[in-house]
Amino acid sequence: MSPNNMNQGIIDEFRANQGKVGGRFEGRTLLLLHTTGAKSHKPHINPAAYIKDGDRYVVIASMGGAPTNPAWYYNLVANPSVTVEAGIEKFQAEAKVIKNEPERTRLYDKMAEMMPTFNEYRQKTSRVIPVIVLERK
């Protein structure tokens, strides 16, 4: 199954079940991140695990510990105005890449505490995995 087909299945399940999905995402907090293509300017939707930090939503561009960032990361860097679907709520947000320490590591560790696979992703790659905060507009 192609990544696009897999994502579409997750998106459909998410919307049919008020933000809850099964499979490898079962029990995780998941949101749908709407971005605008950095080059194509076309709309994209990507499921992403998240944690809350106060009122902010935090997502991590881990791509499973791959050596490169996911495409959606470059989309939100180029166009930080995004739409977020979390549960049954849909809202506009501003995406901000957190580069300053110790906040970046604090947020990454908070995600890894809730979802230990993020520790594995960090160990699999030499890149600094981006941490992104989504702030409601």
pLDDT-based confidence at residue 2 (cuts at 50, 70, 90): very low
Average pLDDT, the chain: 92
What's the pLDDT score for residue 1?
44
The domain tally of the chain equals 1
Rounded to an integer, what distance in angstroms lies between the CA atom of residue 111 and that of residue 59? Answer: 8
Distances in Å between the Cα of 55 and the Cα atoms of 38, 93, 134 are 27, 11, 9
Burial class for 10, CB neighbours closer than 10 Å (0-12, 13-18, 19+): buried
Q: What is the CATH number of the domain that holds 32?
A: 2.30.110.10
**Which range marks the domain in which residue 29 is found?**
3-136
